[in-house]
Structure 1
Amino acid sequence: MDWKEGHLIKIPKKGDLSKCENYRGIILLSVPWKVFNRVLVNRMKDAVDAQLRDQQAEFRKDRSCTDQIATLRIIVEQSVGWNSSLYINSIVYEKAFDSVDSSRLWKLLRHYGVPKMLVNIIRNLYDGLQCKVMHRGQLTDVFQVRTRVRQGCLLSPFLFLMVVDWIMKTSASGGKHGIQWTAQNQLDDLDFADDLALLSHAHEQMQIKTASVSAVSASVGLNIHKGKPKVLKFNTRNKNPITLDGETLEDVESFTYLGSIIDELGGSDADVKARIGKARTAFLQLKNIWNSTQLSTNVKVRIFKTNVKTVLLYGAETWRTTTTTIKKVQVFIISCLHKKPSVHWSDTISNSLLWERTNQLPAEEEIRKRRWKWIGHTLRKSSNCITRQALTWNPEGRRKRGRPKNTLRRIIEADMKTMNYNWTELERIAQDRVE
C-alpha cells in the first residue's frame, strides 16, 4: 500500500444501516506511515500537552472518563445540596473528525509552537491523500481527501484535541460565563474529545456561551449537531429555552455523559438501573458460555468478571450509593453466579460462601475498593487538577433546612471519619502507593 493511499472501512453505528450517516469510516493506512506518525507525535506531544486546558481528558496521560464523570456528579450534587443554580449543556459535534478545515489546522499547529519544519512534514503527509472504500471485499475507485483528520491515523487524536482546545479557549475568553470554581477562576466546561459539557450559573451566560462555541467551531469547519444537545437545569426559575441558530435546544430531566446517566435529582439511581440492564444483556449474550460443560468454573468466573462485571460497575466509583442500590447490584451478581452449572439455587449456600467459592468481593466492598483506588489516583495529581479540586469544592448558596441529602462527597467523608483521616493526611498517604 502506498503511503498516501488509505482503505476506508465502514464500521456500523446505531440506527438505520441503509443510511450512510450511521456508519463510522476508519482509514487503514500503511505500517510505515503509522511508524513515522508515532515519531512525529512523540516529538510534539509533551510541548503541546502542557498548553492544553485541564478540562480536556481524552487521549491524555493519567486522565479518564471516571475523572470527568465524578467531577460532573460532584458539581451537580453540590449545586443541588447548596441550592445553587446550574445550567449544563451537553453538546456533540456533527462528523467531528471528518469536518476539520485542514488549512486552519496548519495555522493552529504553529499557534501551539510546533516548529515550521514539522508542520510542513505533517502537511505534506495530508496533502494528496487518496482513499478507496472497501465494500463487500471489493475496493472502489480512488478519490481525493481534502478535509478531515483521519480516524485510524496516530496523529488524529493529537491534532483534534488541539482544535477543540483552541475552540474552548477562544470562546471562553470573551467574559465570565462559567461557574465559580476557585476564588480566582471559573470552570466553563468539561471535555472528553468532542463530548463537551458547558457549565454556567445563569440562562444568559449559557446562551452567550453556546452561541460563542458554535461560532468559533464553525470557523474551523466543525458544526454542533443540533439534534443532540441536551440542556439540564438545576435550581432555576427561568423557563426560557437555550437556542442555537434559531433552533430550540431540548430541556431534559437527564442525559448520558460518557456512558453514565446524570439526572436532575443529582443521584445515581437511574445510572445503577441502566448499568444492571446493560450487564444483564451482556450476561445473556454469553449464555452458551455459562451452559458449557467443557469450561471450568474458574474460567467462567473470569469471563463473568471481564465481560459482565466490567459493564455493571462502569462508573461505580462515582455512585452515590445507598442500601437500596447496593442491594440491587448484589442481587444481580448473586443471580448471575447461581445460574452457572457449578452453583445451583438448591445448594442454599450463604452469600459469604458464594463469594468465597467464586472468589468475588461483596458488592459494597468492591465498589468501596474501586472508589478509594480512584481517590488515591486523584490525590496524587497536581493541586491545580480540576478533579482533585472537585473533592473539596462548594458552590455559592445556602443549604435547605433539614437533613442534607447523601452525596458522593458525604460518602467519602464518612469513610474518612471511620478511618480517622482528614484530607491532608489522605493526600500524604496517597503519595506512597505501598501504604
Structure 2
Amino acid sequence: MATIYQYMCIYPKLTSSEYCYYKYPGDILIFLLRILHYLYVDLCWIYDMLEKAIKEMRKGKATGDDDVPGDVLKLLGEGALKTLTKLMNTIYESGEWPKDFTEVTMIALKKKTKATKCSDHRTISLIAHTAKIIAKILKRRIERKIEDVLGEDQFGFRRGKGTRDAIGMMRIIAERTLEIDEELCVCFIDWQKAFDRVNWTKLMQILKETGIDWHERRLISKLYMDQKVRVRLDRGETGSVRIGRGVRQGCCLSPILFNLYSECLTKEALDGLGDFKVGGQIIQTVKYADDLVLMAKEETVLQGMIDRLIEIGRCYGMEMNVEKTKVMKISRQPTPVTIKIDQKQVENVKCFKYLGSLLTDDGRCTCEIKSRIAMAKAAFSKKKNLFTSKLDLNLRKKLVKCYIWSIALYGAETWTLRAVDQKHLESFEMWCWRRMEKISWTDYVRNEEVLIRVSEQRNILHEIRKRKANWIGHVLCRNCLLKEVIEGKIEGRIEMTRRRGRRRKKMLDDLGDRRGYCHLKEKALDRIKWRNCFGRDCGPVILTDY
C-alpha cells in the first residue's frame, strides 16, 4: 500500500500542466484513476510483472546459492506467486536484498588447454533465479529512460540492433569514402577489462542525472555494495570477498548499465570533436558495448580525440590497452598513420577482425569471405563422420546448412559481392555436397550430377540475397543512423564527386535494379511488395564482374 509521503511526492507531477486539463466533474474520476495507476503500477511491483518475468525465464539453468531451480518457479500457483510478489514489494520498499540474492558463486572456465594463470580463465556466475527475476523487472523500469540517453551509434545489447548493423555501418562508411576518393582514419579502441572497471560511485551519479527513480537507484546501489563473491574450484570453494568495482557478471542489468556508462564517457570526451560528416551530421564513433571505433578524416583530429578519450576515461576508471588497440587508414593508397597512446606507437593494420568480421583498408569483402569459408571447412572436417554417415539425406543437408553454412555466412548481409567472391561461395557450396556424398575430384563427376544426387540447386547466393533483403528492408523502414549513412552526402572536397573510371560495386547493388536506390527504398516502404520481390523465389543471381 502506498504511503501518504509517496502521494505527496507524486502530487506535483500529476498536477503539472501535462495532467491539469480537467474541466468537467467526470474528469475528476479520470484524475483519481491516474493517481491510483501511478501508485499501484509505478510505485509497486504488481503480480503481472512477476508472472511475465517468470514465463520469459529459460529452462535448465544452473541454480544459485539458494538451490532453487528456475523450473520450480514456473510451476508456482497463484497463491505462491502472490506471496513472491509481496516479498519483492518488501524488497522494493525497504531497499534491502536478502543475503542469498547478493552472494554469488563463480565458476572458473579455462580459455586455453594449458591454463595456469587467472588471466587464462573466464568466470560464469551462479545467481539465484529469484534475484534474476527482480533484476529483470528492475531492468524494465529503467530501460526506457536509459534508451533515451543512448546514441544511435551504440548497437550493443539493444532491441532491433545487433552485430550486423555495426559491421554493416563500418562497411558502408568505407565504401562510400572510397567511392569519392576520400580518406578516413579509423582507430579500434580496446579497453582493459572494461566491464570490470566501472566505478560504482560514478555509475550511481550517472543514474541520478539520467532521471532514474530513487527506489531503483537504491536497489541497484545496495545490490552492488552488498554483493559478495566466492569462486568454486575443483578442490572446493574460496572464501567470500567483496568487489569494489565493475558491473555484475551474468546479471541482466549489466549490459544496459554499461551502455549508459560508456555513452556518458564518450559524450563527455568527444564533445565538439570530429571532422567526418555524413549528411551534415558528425559521426565520431561506432560502438558495440565495449567495442569502440573512432573515426576522423585527419590524423591530427583522431589523435586529439584519442588523447581526450584517455583523459576522461581515467576519470571513469577506464584504461586503454595499447597492444590491442589498432589503427587503419581507409584509402585507395593507404599510408601509415602515426597515432600514439602515452608516447607508445599504435600499430597500423591493413585488416582488423571487428565483431568477428574482417574489415580491410580497401573496403573489399574478399578476405572476409575466404576466411569464413576456411572456418566453415574446418568445422565440417571436425564433424565429418556425422555429415558423411548413413543418416537420412535430408537430415544431413539440414545439419550442413545449420552448422556449416551458419559459420560461412556470418555477416553475409553486409557483404558486397564481386564476381570472384560469388564464384568462391558457389565453389564452397559444391564442396559441401561433394564431401557429404564422398565424391572425390578424381571421380570426374560434374556439378550438375552432384546437385541431382543431393536433390539441391545452387542456393547459397540466393540465401545471401534474402538475408541482405531482410536486413536492408528493416533499415530502410526506420529513421536510424545507418539509413542516414546510406543516404547522406559525405562532406570533404568541394566537388565531392566520385573518381574517374569504372564505378565501384556497392553493397545494395545485389538488391537494386537499373532504377536505382530511390526505387529500392520505395519498395521497402511497402512490405508486401518487398516480400514479393525478395521472397523465396527471388530469381537468379547474375554474376557481374566488378
Question: What is the TM-score of this pair, normalised by structure 1?
Answer: 0.91
Query: Does 2:487 match 1:388?
Result: no
**Partners of 1:169 and 1:156 in 2: how far apart?**
20
Deviations 1:162-196 (Å, cap 9, x if unpaired)? 111111111121x231410222x201110000111
What is the aligned-residue identity percentage?
A: 26
**Partners of 1:143 and 1:355 in 2: how far apart?**
64
**Partners of 1:233 and 1:355 in 2: how far apart?**
47
Partner SS for 2:323: coil
For 2:499, the equivalent position in structure 1 comes to 400
Using a 3 Å threshold, how does the CA distance of structure 1 residues 28 and 433 change in structure 2: closer, same or farther? Answer: farther
**Partners of 1:419 and 1:206 in 2: how far apart?**
35
Letter in 2 for 1:83: D
Letter in 2 for 1:117: H
List alignment gaps of at least 5 residues for structure 1: none
Letter in 1 for 2:102: K
Deviations 1:94-124 (Å, cap 9, x if unpaired)? 1111111111111111111111121011111
For 2:464, the equivalent position in structure 1 comes to 367
Relative CO higher for 1 or 2, CA cutoff 8 Å, sep ≥ 6? 1
Partner SS for 1:391: helix
Pick one of 164, 167, 176 that aligns with 1:69.
167
For 1:162, the equivalent position in structure 2 comes to 260
Letter in 2 for 1:165: E
Query: Does 2:229 match 1:131?
Result: yes
Using a 3 Å threshold, how does the CA distance of structure 1 residues 424 and 362 change in structure 2: closer, same or farther? Answer: closer
Deviation larger for 318-327 or 266-275: 318-327
**Partners of 1:156 and 1:204 in 2: how far apart?**
35
Letter in 2 for 1:43: R
Pick one of 388, 393, 396 that aligns with 1:300.
396
Using a 3 Å threshold, how does the CA distance of structure 1 residues 88 and 391 change in structure 2: closer, same or farther? Answer: same
Report the alpha carbon displacement of residue 350 of structure 1 after superposing the two structures with TM.
4.4
Partner SS for 1:335: helix
For 1:264, the equivalent position in structure 2 comes to 361
For 1:200, the equivalent position in structure 2 comes to 296
Report the alpha carbon displacement of residue 12 of structure 1 after superposing the two structures with TM.
3.2
**Partners of 1:420 and 1:194 in 2: how far apart?**
34
Partner SS for 2:248: coil
**Partners of 2:359 and 2:438 in 1: how far apart?**
38
The residue correspondences of 1:20-419 to structure 2 (distance < 5 A) are: 20-136=118-234, 138-173=236-271, 175-183=272-280, 185-235=281-331, 239=336, 241-293=338-390, 295-341=391-437, 348=445, 350-351=447-448, 354=451, 357-359=454-456, 361-382=458-479, 385-395=480-490, 396=492, 397-412=496-511, 415-417=512-514
Letter in 2 for 1:50: D
Report the alpha carbon displacement of residue 26 of structure 1 after superposing the two structures with TM.
2.1
Using a 3 Å threshold, how does the CA distance of structure 1 residues 224 and 419 change in structure 2: closer, same or farther? Answer: closer
Question: What is the TM-score of this pair, normalised by structure 2?
Answer: 0.74
Deviations 1:210-248 (Å, cap 9, x if unpaired)? 111222222121211111111111348875511111111
Using a 3 Å threshold, how does the CA distance of structure 1 residues 103 and 404 change in structure 2: closer, same or farther? Answer: same
Partner SS for 2:310: helix
Q: Which protein has the larger Cα radius of gyration, Structure 1 or Structure 2?
A: 2
**Partners of 2:346 and 2:216 in 1: how far apart?**
41
Report the alpha carbon displacement of residue 78 of structure 1 after superposing the two structures with TM.
1.3
Indicate if the aligned counterparts of 2:465 and 2:510 stay in contact, CA closer than 8 A: no
Partner SS for 1:152: coil
Provide the alpha-carbon RMSD of the alignment: 2.5
Report the alpha carbon displacement of residue 424 of structure 1 after superposing the two structures with TM.
4.2
Letter in 1 for 2:486: L
**Partners of 2:531 and 2:247 in 1: how far apart?**
43
Report the alpha carbon displacement of residue 83 of structure 1 after superposing the two structures with TM.
1.3
Letter in 1 for 2:503: P
Letter in 1 for 2:310: S
**Partners of 1:137 and 1:432 in 2: how far apart?**
63
Report the alpha carbon displacement of residue 416 of structure 1 after superposing the two structures with TM.
3.0
Report the alpha carbon displacement of residue 398 of structure 1 after superposing the two structures with TM.
4.0
Indicate if the aligned counterparts of 2:265 and 2:312 stay in contact, CA closer than 8 A: yes
Report the alpha carbon displacement of residue 65 of structure 1 after superposing the two structures with TM.
0.9
List alignment gaps of at least 5 residues for structure 2: 1-64, 66-99, 533-546
Indicate if the aligned counterparts of 2:426 and 2:458 stay in contact, CA closer than 8 A: no
Report the alpha carbon displacement of residue 363 of structure 1 after superposing the two structures with TM.
2.4
Using a 3 Å threshold, how does the CA distance of structure 1 residues 250 and 379 change in structure 2: closer, same or farther? Answer: same
